[in-house]
Amino acid sequence: MKTLIQNYTSALSTEPMYINRCLTETGFESVLWTEPNISAFDAFDYTKPDLFIGHYKFLTQDIVKYLAGNKNVSLALNVTGANEQELEQIENLVELGVNMPLVFSNLYQPTATFKTKDVKFVHLYPAADVFLPINNVPEYSVDNCILTIEDGPLTQEVKKDKESYHVFSFNGGSGYADFELDVASMTSFYQRYKTIHIAGDINLATSQVLFDSMLKAKEVKIKVPENQQQKLDEILSLLFVETPEKKDLKDILRDQIKTKHNCFRRVARLFRSLKIKEVAQKMEEISDKL
């Protein structure tokens, strides 16, 4: 089996990169489509995939045309962010002849407003990317690091009683932050701070940043708008389970991320939903050893 993966990496997600890496690390053929100037027909004809994983925002007419004419290539489409009308249009791809066994979303049940009606819909939560390298950064230690996407009331609230802090923004061109970067680059900075504060909308607070930071930082605190706190609590209760272990809570959560919320576990879920059991089983075996 061979997989072609569209590079829909964003400031808050390395999902296509870690799906590709999980596959190649376990001996399955996979190609990450990173060159946007290559035409869809050239990309498909060159790689000859059995499965194409992409994002609805980058689904071009040429991609649809190729898939409609090549039913031996199945499509697993990330529909995170799609509204009701867009999901209806996505479902129409099946009528055009596209072999689309499922769509998936990185949103959690409490925050997923819309779903497909006739095509299988899978929740594929964000995950800790175990492949992200820690690059060399200057040696320093600061008490607080505030992760945000805007200089709004929540950011100001976290800042107000802090004497020592840096603000990191995942929104390029913000102008208010000490650093502007993405989730991959942030990996190199977690250990430079005593406490990481994630301040913002629930979609930021429960993104890949949550898992990467809790796995790699010394301490993580989350601040969301008051009207989103209940949903945040619901999501956290979905992700983490109580345990009788007599360990520090941080260590318990870190252990659960390693075993249940790593990228191998997420890729296993995707391929089990696609009924490709060989890949799913291999991913699960590796996840159990992390």
Convert 211-259 into a string of H (helix), E (strand) and C (coil): HHHHHHCCCEEEECCHHHHHHHHHHHHHHCCCCCCCCCHHHHHHHHHHH
**DSSP at 13:** B
| pLDDT for the residue numbered 243 | 77
What does the alpha-carbon distance between residue 53 and residue 40 come to, in Å, rounded to a whole number?
Answer: 13
pTM of the model: 0.95
Rg of the chain (C-alpha set): 20
178: number of Cβ within 10 Å: 12
Q: What are phi and psi of 245, to 5 degrees?
A: -60, 140
Nearest of 231, 284, 225, 235 to residue 260 by alpha carbon? 284
| pLDDT for the residue numbered 247 | 73
Per-residue pLDDT of the chain (290 residues; tens, 9 = 90+): 999 999 999 999 999 999 999 999 999 999 999 988 899 999 999 999 999 999 999 999 999 999 999 999 999 999 999 999 999 999 999 999 999 999 999 999 888 888 999 999 999 999 999 999 999 999 999 999 999 999 999 999 999 989 999 999 999 877 899 999 999 999 999 999 999 999 999 999 999 999 999 999 999 999 999 999 999 999 999 999 887 776 787 888 999 999 999 999 999 999 999 999 999 999 999 999 88
| pLDDT for the residue numbered 147 | 98
| pLDDT for the residue numbered 250 | 84
| pLDDT for the residue numbered 17 | 98
| pLDDT for the residue numbered 114 | 87
